[in-house]
Amino acid sequence: MKKLFLIAAFAATFICSSSAFAQIDDQSDPQTLIKTVTQQVLDEVRTQAIDPNDIPRIMAIVDRDILPYIDFRYTTRLAVGLYWRTATPEQQQQLVHQFQMLLIHLYAGALAQLRPDQKIEYPPMRVAPNDTDTVVRTIAETNSQPFEIDYRLHKTPQGWRVYDLNVVGAWLVQTYRQQFGEKIQQSGIDGLIQFLTERNEQLASGKAQQ
């Protein structure tokens, strides 16, 4: 349950209505971007509860609104590591797609766990005008004790984009890099693509636990 809540906190940072995104300047400092989007989605949860059984609606929200602010290609490249260079352009495209779908399934399952009274604090931070990579730290309150969630962002021509997440000491990219590396060593790039494809099929059919 705790792991699911942590993913939900990540999802909360990026999922909101399209009209809300139009009001956000993603060229601004990264903390302001994350704080603004987080508050808007929490306001949305307060006004309209999310039915955990309405998976198509949840998936639609994630698919429509989460993608613009996460650099999935960069995240995938880092997760695959040195093996990324050996993959063909077609294999790279398939890896990005399947990894993206895997994370979307996890976000969809977690979104319904958000509480209307969820509170998130933002410790002070500074971002220099020439910074292109930074970490935004947040503190999420739970019924037991607060815990820290860190978001790593880099600046692109389109604005700040998230590419990594740290929850209670475990960075998402590092965690998947180990798993992906083992799969590639066993069965190559195509083996990893097949593994991700089968995993997504299981999640889509409800035959796998998230």
Which tens digit of pLDDT belongs to each residue from 52-100?
667 676 666 666 666 677 899 999 999 999 999 999 999 999 999 999 8
Return the H-helix or E-strand segment holding 204: helix 172-205
In this prediction, residues 141-159 reach a mean pLDDT of: 83
Domains of the chain in start order, with CATH, are 2-205 (3.10.450.710)
Size of the chain, expressed as the number of residues it contains: 210
Do residues 45 and 114 touch, judged by C-beta distance below 8 A?
Answer: yes
Return d(Cα 58, Cα 39) in angstroms, integer: 18
Nearest alpha-carbon partner for 180 in 168, 171, 167, 191: 191
Higher pLDDT, 77 or 144: 77
Return d(Cα 102, Cα 55) in angstroms, integer: 15
Return d(Cα 137, Cα 152) in angstroms, integer: 9
Q: What is Dmax (Cα atoms) for the chain? A: 49
Q: Do β-strands 133-140 and 120-121 pair in parallel, antiparallel, or remain unpaired?
A: antiparallel
Q: Which of 92-96, 106-110, 166-170, 192-196 has the lowest mean pLDDT?
A: 106-110
Which tens digit of pLDDT belongs to each residue from 12-38?
544 433 333 444 555 578 998 788 777
For 5-26, give the DSSP string: HHHHHHHHTT---HHHHTT--T
Do residues 172 and 181 touch, judged by C-beta distance below 8 A?
Answer: no
Return d(Cα 183, Cα 167) in angstroms, integer: 24
